[in-house]
């Protein structure tokens, strides 16, 4: 008797697992942008606390510190101006421009939370789609 004769063989088919994500879906692009905005909130909190602005990323089996890309700048008067970016492309907000004038740095996390609400409501879907198309070859 062979080893394979000991097994119970059937004609049932095991379906392939569903794809982990759909890169083409609007929900995926919203989630991606929200994650990046939340990252900027964490960076703003670090800046407010006076701590170094560093993020940790997993590279292979190692966790390394990386210098983050900040979406905001502080001008000479201490006012903060920020942009919302998707794939490094600034999004046009309400057809008026890509910059948001925040005021003081302490208001930046609240501004980003408002942006997250707008993303979840789908108010930036057209701009995200446009930036997605621009970033693809």
| Secondary structure of residue 12 in the 3-state scheme | coil
> What is the span of the domain harbouring residue 65?
24-135
Higher pLDDT, 121 or 4: 121
Q: How much is the pTM?
A: 0.76
Does residue 57 fall inside a structural domain? yes
Does residue 129 fall inside a structural domain? yes
- Kindly report, residue by residue over 40-72, the tens digit of the pLDDT: 999 999 999 988 888 888 888 999 988 889 999
Higher pLDDT, 18 or 39: 39
Does residue 14 fall inside a structural domain? no
Q: What pLDDT is recorded for position 19?
A: 67
Does residue 4 fall inside a structural domain? no
Does residue 49 fall inside a structural domain? yes
For residues 93 and 103, the answer to whether their CB atoms sit within 8 Å is no
Does residue 119 fall inside a structural domain? yes
Does residue 114 fall inside a structural domain? yes
Q: What pLDDT is recorded for position 39?
A: 92
Please state, in angstroms and rounded to a whole number, the distance separating the CA atoms of residues 39 and 55.
Answer: 9
| Secondary structure of residue 100 in the 3-state scheme | strand
Of the listed ranges 46-50, 69-73, 106-110, 131-135, the least confidently predicted one is 131-135
For 53, phi and psi rounded to 5 degrees? -90, 90
Count how many Cα atoms sit within 13 Å of the Cα of residue 101 in the half-sphere of its side chain: 7
State the total domains in the chain: 1
Q: What pLDDT is recorded for position 22?
A: 61
Q: What pLDDT is recorded for position 24?
A: 67
Does residue 82 fall inside a structural domain? yes
């Amino acid at each position: 008797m062979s080893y394979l004769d000991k097994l119970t063989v059937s004609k049932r088919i095991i379906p392939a697992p569903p794809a982990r994500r759909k890169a083409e879906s609007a929900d995926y692009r919203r989630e991606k942008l929200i994650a990046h905005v939340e990252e900027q909130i964490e960076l703003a909190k670090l800046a407010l606390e006076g701590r170094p602005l560093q993020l940790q990323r997993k590279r292979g089996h190692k966790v390394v510190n990386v210098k983050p890309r900040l979406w905001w700048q502080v001008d000479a008067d201490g006012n903060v101006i920020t942009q919302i970016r998707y794939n490094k492309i600034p999004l046009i907000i309400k057809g008026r421009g890509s910059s948001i004038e925040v005021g003081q740095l302490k208001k930046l996390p609240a501004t980003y939370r408002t942006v997250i609400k707008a993303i979840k409501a789908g108010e930036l879907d057209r701009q995200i789609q446009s930036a997605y198309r621009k970033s693809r070859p």
